[in-house]
Structure 1
Amino acid sequence: MKSMYDIRQLLKKFGTYIYTGNKIGDLELMEMEIEELQNYGFIQKEDYISAKLLLRKEMAIIRDQQAREGESK
């Protein structure tokens, strides 16, 4: 997996569509769904690890952006 699009496509294969309007919330829900898919053996370990890393990286980027926006106000 190389992008958030890949993660969304993977979740879509299992009928999971996530959009709450809250970016961090969406990423947290995706992370939970990926964990469940791994626990039940529906996805390979490599896909699980790469998805988790991408989600964590994206969360860090968004939190940094929010922190910078908070400082400028």
Structure 2
Amino acid sequence: MKTLYDVQQFLKGFGLIIYMGKRLYDIEMMKIELERIYDVGLIDKLTYIEAELVLRREHRLELEYEEKKGVKQT
């Protein structure tokens, strides 16, 4: 997995479609759901780590984007 889209499609395979209306919230919810899937043993550690790294990167980039645009964080 290399992109946020890849992670979204991966989660979709488990019946999870996440849309909260704000990209940052979507990423955070994907992290939560990914961790739950891993904790119950449905995915291996390598897959979990790959997806987690993508989500971390996207979260960081989204925070930087919001700071640049001056969007207030709640």
TM-score (norm 2): 0.90
> Is 2:42 the partner of 1:69?
no
Separation of aligned partners in 1, 2:10 and 2:49:
13
1:6 is displaced (CA, Å) by 1.3
Give the drift of 1:44.
1.2
What CA distance in whole angstroms lies between the structure 1 residues aligned with 2:34 and 2:50?
10
Aligned match of 1:25: 25
Number of aligned residues: 71
List per-residue Cα deviations over 1:20-72 (Å, max 9, x = no partner). Answer: 1111110000000000010011011111001111101001101101111119x
- Tell me the amino acid that sits aligned with residue 68 of structure 1: K
In 2, the alpha carbon distance for the partners of 1:31 and 1:6 equals 14
Percent identity over paired residues:
39
Instruction: Tell me which protein shows more helix as a share of its residues.
Output: 1
Q: CA separation in 2, counterparts of 1:69 and 1:10?
A: 30
Aligned to 2:5: 5
Question: Which amino acid in structure 1 is aligned with residue 64 of structure 2?
Answer: D
- Counterpart secondary structure, 1:33: helix
Aligned to 1:57: 57
3-state SS in 1 of match to 2:42:
coil
Tell me, which stretches of 5 or more residues in structure 2 are unaligned?
none
Q: CA RMSD in A?
A: 1.2
